Amino acid sequence: MNNAISYPDVTQLAVPFFLSAILLELGWIVWRGRGGRYETRDALTSLVLGAGSVVSGMLLGFIAWGFFMWLWSLTPLDLGASALVIAVCFVLDDLRYYWVHRFGHRIRWVWAAHVNHHSSQHYNLTTALRQTWTGAFTWMMIVRAPLVLLGFHPAIVLFVGGLNLVYQFWFHTEAITRLPRWFEAVMNTPSHHRVHHGRNARYLDANYAGVFIIWDKMFGTFVPEQEHEKPDYGLVHNLGTFNPLRVAFHEWIGLFRDVFQPGLTLRQRFGYAFAPPGYSHDASRDTSAEIKAKHLARNPTDAGTPGFD
Amino acid sequence: MPLNILLILVVGGIAILALLLHLLGKSRLVILTPEDARTAWHRHFPDDEILGLTVASDGHAAVVQTDQGPGLLWSFGADTVARHLRDFDLLEKPGHLSVIFRDFTAPRVTLYLNATERPLLQKMMVPA
Ligand SMILES: [Zn+2]
Ligand SMILES: [Zn+2]
Per-residue pLDDT band for A5 (boundaries 50, 70, 90) equals: low
Please give the angle made by the CA atoms of A194, A196 and A202, to the nearest 5 degrees.
Answer: 100
Are A306 and A225 spatial neighbours (Cβ–Cβ below 8 Å)? no
Nearest CA in chain A to B47: A294
* Res A198: pLDDT: 98
Q: Does B49 touch chain A (CB under 8 A)?
A: no
Q: Which residues pair with B90 in a beta bridge?
A: B99
Question: Which residues of chain B have a CB within 8 Å of the CB of A51?
Answer: 10, 14
Is the CB of residue A97 less than 8 Å from the CB of residue A164? yes
A48 chain-B contacts, CB cut-off 8 A: 14
Q: What is the pLDDT of residue A170?
A: 97
DSSP letter string, A250-294: HHHHHHHHHHT-TT--HHHHHHHHHSPTT--TTS-S--HHHHHHH
Q: How far is CA A305 from CA A126, A178, A223, A225, in A?
A: 32, 21, 10, 12
Beta pairing class for B88-92 and B69-76: unpaired
Residue contact A239–B14, C-beta within 8 A: no
B9 three-class SS: helix
Across the range A192-208, mean pLDDT stands at: 98
CA distance to partner chain A, nearest, from residue B12 (Å): 10
The gap from C-alpha A5 to its chain's centroid, in whole angstroms, comes to 28
Establish, for the pair of chains A and B, how many residue pairs have beta carbons separated by less than 8 Å.
103
ipTM: 0.95
Among chain B residues, the shortest Cα distance to A26 is held by B21
Contact B91, B100 (CB under 8 A): yes
- Structural domain spans, chain B: 1-28, 34-125
| Out of A9, A40, A42, closest to residue B22 by CB | A40
Backbone angles phi, psi at A118, to 5 degrees: -105, 5
Percentage of chain A exceeding pLDDT 70: 98
Model confidence, pTM: 0.95
Contacts of A182 (CB under 8 A, 6+ apart): none
Query: Which candidate from B1, B18, B107 shows the least CB-CB separation from A40?
Result: B18
**Residue A253 touches partner B, C-beta closer than 8 Å:** yes
Question: What does residue A29 show for φ and ψ, rounded to 5 degrees?
Answer: -65, -45
Better-scored residue on pLDDT, A5 or B56: B56
Task: Note the pLDDT tens digit of each residue in A131-174.
Answer: 999 999 999 999 999 999 999 999 999 999 999 999 999 999 99
| Residues contacting residue A58 through CB under 8 Å, at least 6 positions apart | none
pLDDT value for A31: 96
Domain range summary for chain A, segments of one domain joined by +: 10-184
User: Residue A9 and residue B1: Cβ atoms within 8 Å?
Assistant: yes
Query: What are the pLDDT digits (tens) for A87-128?
Result: 999 999 999 999 999 999 999 999 999 999 999 999 999 999
In whole angstroms, give the CA distance from residue B33 to residue B60.
9
Spatial contact of B83 and B45, defined as CB atoms under 8 Å apart: no
CB B53 within 8 A of CB B72: no
Instruction: Specify whether the CB–CB gap between A206 and A90 falls below 8 A.
Output: no
Q: Are A106 and A205 in contact (CB under 8 A)?
A: yes
pLDDT of residue A3: 47
Ligand nearest to the CA of A97: 1
A37: pLDDT strictly greater than 80: yes
Q: Is B19 on the interface with A (CB under 8 A)?
A: no
Query: Is the CB of residue A26 less than 8 Å away from at least one CB of chain B?
Result: yes
Q: Which residues pair with B55 in a beta bridge?
A: B62
In Å, the largest CA–CA distance within chain B is 61
Q: Do A19 and B46 touch (CB under 8 A)?
A: no
Q: How far is B120 from chain A (nearest CA, A)?
A: 24
Comparing CB atoms, the residue among A40, A237, A253 nearest residue B21 is: A40
**Taking residues A43-51, what's their average pLDDT?**
97
CA distance A54 to A56: 5
Angle between helices A154-167 and A40-74 (to 10 degrees): 160
CA gap A69, B18 in Å, rounded: 41
Q: Which of A15, A44, A254 lies nearest to residue B104, judging by beta carbons? A: A254
Quick one: A49 exposed, middle or buried, by C-beta within 10 A (0-12, 13-18, 19+)? buried
What does the pLDDT read at residue B128? 64
Ligand 1 centroid vs A302 CA: distance in angstroms? 24
Exposed, middle or buried, A152 (CB in 10 Å: 0-12/13-18/19+)? buried
* pLDDT tens-digit readout, A261-270: 999 999 999 9
Among residues 173-232 of chain A, which lie with CB inside 8 Å of chain B?
232
List the one residue out of A63, A78, A66, A53 whose CA is nearest residue A2: A78
Q: Name the residue among A23, A37, A47 with its Cβ closest to that of B14.
A: A47
A123 bridge partner residues: none
> How far, in Å, CA of B8 to CA of A296, rounded?
51
pLDDT at A1 over 70: no
For residue B24, the chain A residues in CB contact (below 8 A) are 26, 30, 38
The ranges of chain B with pLDDT < 50 are none
What is the CA(A83)–ligand 2 centre distance, in A? 28
| Cβ–Cβ contact A252 with B under 8 A | no
Backbone angles phi, psi at A208, to 5 degrees: -85, -5
B78 contacts in chain A (CB < 8 Å): 37, 39, 42, 121-122
